[in-house]
């Protein structure tokens, strides 16, 4: 697993921070507001299109491309892993349950107990809103492990260990507990915060070719310290 030479500056992926790149994978930090991949309704610029241009080094005839392994909501910032071959994508997705995914989030209110696991079956209605159901035939089992790291100003900073990866899982689970994520207008309230306080902080997984265990971590967003004050970095 050797790092590869980066393309010229003009082909660097604008708006994304590349944390790691080799012949098989790219790991980037996605900012809030950028889609992971386009949808039928939204064809705007995405992580997928930006990185496809990047690996083609300005040659539209190049057969190089990237493959989406997982997604982050448009409003969520943090680490995304993409594959550079279909075989690498299949391997990473096949071992996704073994991948350790940690998030930081700030929610309204104080939680009791201070740590635990939220479990429900998540389904989606015709309005594209995700909700919990007791019927396993309607939804998919979803597990969100949380731990309170700090409480301040009526808010709580949580570390989330994502045990399953369903659409809007963290946001829905916390909202249904009465503790919506700050800035979440879909599942929470208009609290005056323009940015969703949800960040994919770290990830650990097995490299699809070398078999080495890789770990990546990002800085805590400035928004978080503005909301709850100085934060001591949690250990992954």
Handedness of CA 223, 228, 230, 233 (dihedral sign): negative
By the 8 A CB rule, do 153 and 191 touch? no
Q: Which of 22, 24, 42, 73 is catalytic?
A: 73
Measure the CA–CA gap between 143 and 210, rounded to whole angstroms. Answer: 30
By the 8 A CB rule, do 216 and 20 touch? yes
Q: Which residues contact 82 (CB under 8 A, 6 or more apart)?
A: 25, 26, 27, 28, 47, 48, 51, 66, 67, 68, 69
By the 8 A CB rule, do 226 and 232 touch? no
Measure the CA–CA gap between 89 and 48, rounded to whole angstroms. Answer: 14
Tokens representing 123? 């389904």
The segments of the chain whose pLDDT lies below 70 read 1-11, 39-43, 233-236
Measure the CA–CA gap between 201 and 162, rounded to whole angstroms. Answer: 11
pLDDT tens digits for range 56-77: 887 778 889 999 999 999 999 9
Tokens representing 96? 């996704």
| CA 131 to the chain's CA centroid | 19
Measure the CA–CA gap between 121 and 139, rounded to whole angstroms. Answer: 5
Whole-model pTM? 0.91
Residues in the chain: 236
- Residue 163, pLDDT score: 95
- Residue 28, pLDDT score: 97
- Residue 59, pLDDT score: 77
168 C-beta neighbours (distance < 10 Å), count: 21
**232 catalytic, yes or no?**
no
- Residue 199, pLDDT score: 98
Tokens representing 68? 């989406």
- Residue 38, pLDDT score: 78
SS3 of 50, please? helix
């Amino acid at each position: 697993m050797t790092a590869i030479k980066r393309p010229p500056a003009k082909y660097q992926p604008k708006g994304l921070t590349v944390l790691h790149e080799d012949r098989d994978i790219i790991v980037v930090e996605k900012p809030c507001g950028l889609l992971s991949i386009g949808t039928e309704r939204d064809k705007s610029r995405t992580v997928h299109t930006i990185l496809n241009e990047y690996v083609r080094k300005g040659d539209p005839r190049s057969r190089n491309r990237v493959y989406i392994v997982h997604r982050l909501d448009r409003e969520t910032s943090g680490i995304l892993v993409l594959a550079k071959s279909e075989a690498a994508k299949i391997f990473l997705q096949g071992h996704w349950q073994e991948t350790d995914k940690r998030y930081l989030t700030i929610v309204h209110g104080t939680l009791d107990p201070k740590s635990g696991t939220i479990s429900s079956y998540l389904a989606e209605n015709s309005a594209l809103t995700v909700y919990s159901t007791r019927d396993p035939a309607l939804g998919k089992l979803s597990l969100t492990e949380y731990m309170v790291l700090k409480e301040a100003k009526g808010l709580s900073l949580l570390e989330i260990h994502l045990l399953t990866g369903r659409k809007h899982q963290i946001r829905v689970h916390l909202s249904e507990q009465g503790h919506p994520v700050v800035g979440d207008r879909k599942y929470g309230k208009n609290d005056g915060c323009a940015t969703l306080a949800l960040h994919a902080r770290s990830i650990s997984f097995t490299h699809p070719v070398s078999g080495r265990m890789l770990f990546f971590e990002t800085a805590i967003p400035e928004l978080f310290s503005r909301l709850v004050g100085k934060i001591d970095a949690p250990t992954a």
